[in-house]
Structure 1
Amino acid sequence: MSYTTVKNLFVLLLLTSNLLQALSCRVVRGYTVHVVNKLPPNSDLSLHCASGDDDLGFHTIPVNYDFHWHFCDSWTGTTLFFCHLYWGSKQVAFDVFKSQWSDRCFLDCYWEARSDGIYFSGKFPPDKLEKKHDWENK
């Protein structure tokens, strides 16, 4: 195989990969993750959420605020987002979305921070919440 043929195949592979990524929302489902502050009055919730590709930064959200973002699962089905939540002297870190959770999060993953822990629902708005995590002391 000549150098030109190998080079052309490589360029074609790169273009195909970029096209698949650009069309991924049309091929695979889009999701929204919600992290909602349901702590007592005047209790801000600080959080840092990220994936291997996207760092959403540090945020401080007031009571009843819904911090949320929308994204498309990778066409390889390997998307993972995690969050680290801070409330006063307490904290907790956990995965908020994994591609393998299609049975848990149909279109939305809803997480609610309460004084006694972190609750989850696979729907938005949530109809039933399940406690998933306890706060840990720093």
Structure 2
Amino acid sequence: MDSEMRDEPVNAPDRCGWCGTVIPPGTGVHGIATDSWVTDDSDAQDDGQRFLTSCGYEHLVALREHYRRRPFLDEELWAGKIASAFERHDVLTVEDLERVTGLSREQIQRCVAWLETQLHRLQ
């Protein structure tokens, strides 16, 4: 893919996830936090795991605390899986969706109900 077509600049500097400071190469502090918003198209075992980058240990602790306080919602994770599937495929039946996402029909139905609830909360 042409670098002009990418969403993010090539070789963009790391920024602290807490304060936004540019992190000099080799000085960042990293960790993992659970986050139901995160899905990984390349490895489903990484779904729900957010990679954290910070400028120092104190900000890594603050980031972890932030995500620890945020509820982990299975339906939110499933919505991410479904959205990702639709980014790769124009049309999917429920059976296709089960196969592509690894979700059961019940999980898909629960996700749809959760999404409808979220839409009603926004209105």
TM-score tier by shorter-chain length is: under 0.3
Structure with larger Rg: 1
- Select the structure that is richer in helix: 2
**Structure (1/2) with the larger strand percentage:** 1
Question: Structure 2-normalised TM-score?
Answer: 0.25
Bigger RCO (CA 8 Å, 6+ sep)? 1
